[in-house]
């Protein structure tokens, strides 16, 4: 997701889109990365969660989220993958309806649909979201 520190020392403040279809959640893998993430990213200065998430999702998976349908799913605080030891990510995860066809952008190497069985291929925060999705019966554990 290409985050930088903006919230506080050692904290990456980020947003993610949770898109579930047929008992699986959409994940993306950026070029050069070894794990999958939820689509999303960081706010630009002064940007709302809705505006940032609409922009980031369009940039990564080529669809337009409907801001009127954005709903907070969960907030995860977890070890930040790919950052120095002790860095945490605060990941606000939203669901939303979309228009368009899902397709990887130039920065995304791969799209995949995951269940809990795929947790070993995900960043730590993504594992926590998979666990919550399974707990709510939205994906297989």
Q: For the chain, what are the domain ranges?
A: 11-135
Cβ neighbours of residue 138 closer than 8 Å, sequence gap 6 or more: 20, 23, 25
Q: Residue 78 and residue 12: Cα distance in Å, rounded? A: 10
User: Closest Cα partner for 128 from 7, 10, 16, 11?
Assistant: 16
Does residue 5 carry a pLDDT above 60? no
Please give the structure tokens belonging to residue 72: 């907070």
Residues belonging to the chain: 141
Largest Cα separation within the chain, whole Å, is 39
pLDDT band of 116, cuts 50, 70, 90: very high
Does residue 133 carry a pLDDT above 70? yes
pLDDT band of 1, cuts 50, 70, 90: very low
CATH number 2.170.190.11 is the correct assignment for the domain at 11-135: no
SS3 80: coil
Q: What is the pTM of this model?
A: 0.89
């Amino acid at each position: 997701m290409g985050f930088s520190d903006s919230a506080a020392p050692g904290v990456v403040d980020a947003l993610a889109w949770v898109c579930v279809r047929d008992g699986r959640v959409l994940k993306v893998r950026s070029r050069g990365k070894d794990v999958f993430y939820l689509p999303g990213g960081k706010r630009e200065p002064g940007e709302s969660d809705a505006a940032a998430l609409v922009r980031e999702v369009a940039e990564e998976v080529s669809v337009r989220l409907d801001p009127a349908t954005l709903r907070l799913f969960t907030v995860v605080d977890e070890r930040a993958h790919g950052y120095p030891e002790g860095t945490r990510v605060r990941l606000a995860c939203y669901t939303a309806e979309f228009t368009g066809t899902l397709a990887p952008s130039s920065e995304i190497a791969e799209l995949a649909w995951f269940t809990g069985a795929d947790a070993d291929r995900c960043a730590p925060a993504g594992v926590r979201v998979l666990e919550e999705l399974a707990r709510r019966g939205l994906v297989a554990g």
